[in-house]
Amino acid sequence: MTVLMEIKDLKVHYPIRSGFWNRITDYVYAADGISFTIEAGKTYGLVGESGSGKSTIGKAIVGLEKITSGQILFNGEDVSKPSVRRKMKYNKDVQMIFQDSLSSLNPKKTIYQIIAEPIRNFDKMDKESEKQRVIQLLDIVGLSKNAMFQYPHQFSGGQRQRIGIARAIATNPKLIIADEPVSALDLSIQAQVLNFMKRIQKELGISFLFISHDLGVVRHMTKNIAIMHLGRFVELGTREDIYNNPQHIYTKRLLSAIPQIDIANRDANKAKRAQVEAEYQEKRSHFYDQDGLAYPMHQISDTHWVSTPPTNISEGAGK
């Protein structure tokens, strides 16, 4: 497998200004020492509660967020500087799908103008082939070519998100960051859009970084999952590692929070949730340092990494 992207010790800190002179008095550690690798053609899931910094990582990778320190290597080249990104047409290869499909499409532009924007900027095409490309993209996402002349507000939420996908894949990117792409959609539409993204990912061989707060959705989408809490990774592994053998108390807590339709064992499930919560409260000081932040991760198997206190490896293997 070829490594497409390597993220090394990525930090994004926002200054907090206060006091009489508006000096910087503290920082928000939105992403604090994140490292991971993305291989070509694979899908990754990034899970965390809101405010955990997962969107910040996505935006930093795609170049929308200024990074404080660390490196983002794309095909071995450091792309953390805007000038480098511009020169190598970085965003031709790395694209993004946004959470709010309405806000991500300019209300005053036609669908044609929206989808053609990255093509015009990155692939110099003549008018006719540009038009053919847009029609082709609309066809890929299952919309008729008449959609070209309509405006975003004339479409439903699911259709708009598919237009967003068409724009993201317009320049044949190698990596797409999908930032909560379905959380603004109705449950019934979610599955439709998810399946659709999965199909595109397979057919076009694009790497996906799938950012979500919903473990159920991520499980459906990817084999490789990272769990994030308060700006740091707490656990990283395959689907099996995370779902069947969670090591970190936060991961366990997240897993127990997935709603289950299992009426027969309702009370048992409830008791289990209470137990997980009790464990979380009890071991909190053990798994987090005195600032309440997670420790660096250690490898516990070929694929499985977990954040543990520096001295002793946790014995907290559940079940």
Partner 1 sequence: MSEKNETQVQQSVQGKVPEIKDGAVIVETPSTWRTIKREFLKDKVALVSAIILAVVFVTVIIWAFFIPRSAVTNVNIIDQYLTPGTQGHLLGTDEQGRDQVKMLIASARNSLMIAFMISIIGQFFGVIVGLITGYFRGIVDTIIMRVIDFWIVLPFLMIIIVLVSIVPKYNEWTLIWIIGLFAWQGTTRLIRSKVLSEADRDYVRASKTSGSSNFMIMFREILPNLASLIIVDTTLNFAGNIGIETTLSFLGFGLPNGTPSLGTMVSAATDPTVLATKPYVWVPPVIFIIVICVGISFVGQVFRRAADARQRLG
Partner 2 sequence: MWKTIIRRVLIMIPQIVILSALVFILAKLMPGDPFSGTIGPNTDPKQIEALKRAAGLFDPWYVQYWHWIVNLFHGNLGQSYTLKQPVVTVLGNRIGNTVWLSLLSLIVSYAVAIPLGMTAGRFDGSRRDRAITIFNYFTFGLPTFVVFLLGLYIFGYQLNWFPTSGTISINASGFFEETASRFYHMILPGILAGVLGTTSTVQYLRSEIIDAKSQDYVRTARSKGVPTNKVYSRHIFRNSLLPIAAFAGFQITGLIGGSVVIEQVFSYPGMGQLFITAITSRDYSVVTAIVLFTGILALFGSLLSDIILSLVDPRIRIE
Nearer to partner 2, 24 or 271 (CB): 24
Find out whether 47 and 227 touch, Cβ atoms under 8 Å.
yes
Interaction of residue 92 with partner 1, rule CB under 8 A = yes
In the list partner 1, partner 2, none, the entry touching 17 (Cβ below 5 to 8 angstroms by class) is partner 2
Interaction of residue 63 with partner 1, rule CB under 8 A = yes
Here the contacts of 86-89 (C-beta below 8 Å, separation 24 or greater) are 89/122
Interaction of residue 17 with partner 2, rule CB under 8 A = yes
Least Å from the CB of residue 173 to partner 1: 10
Question: CA torsion angle for 27, 29, 35, 41 (degrees, to 10)?
Answer: -120
Among 2, 20, 126, 203, binds partner 2 (CB under 8 A): 20
What's the CA gap between 210 and 194, in Å, rounded?
Answer: 11
Among 43, 55, 99, 161, binds partner 1 (CB under 8 A): 99
Query: What's the maximum distance between 2 C-alpha atoms anywhere in the chain?
Result: 65
Residues 6+ apart with CB under 8 A from 158: 185, 186, 189, 192, 193
Nearer to partner 2, 19 or 76 (CB): 19
The encoded tokens of residue 50 equal 């809101």
Annotate each residue in 117-136 with x if it binds partner 1 (CB under 8 A) or - if it does not, as one string.
Answer: xx--xx----xx-xx--x--
Strands 175-179 and 94-97: parallel
In the list partner 1, partner 2, none, the entry touching 280 (Cβ below 5 to 8 angstroms by class) is none
Strands lying side by side in the sheet with 3-18: 23-39, 3-18, 69-74, 77-78
Interaction of residue 23 with partner 2, rule CB under 8 A = no
Annotate each residue in 136-175 with x if it binds partner 1 (CB under 8 A) or - if it does not, as one string.
Answer: ---------xx-xxxx-xx---------x--x--------
Go through 11-45 and write b for each residue having 16 or more CB atoms within 10 A of its CB, e for each that does not: bbbeeeeeeeeeeeeeeebbbbbbbbebeebbbbb
In the list partner 1, partner 2, none, the entry touching 104 (Cβ below 5 to 8 angstroms by class) is partner 1
Q: Binding residues for partner 1, per CB under 8 A?
A: 59, 62-64, 89, 91-92, 94-96, 98-100, 102-110, 112-113, 116-118, 121-122, 127-128, 130-131, 134, 145-146, 148-151, 153-154, 164, 167
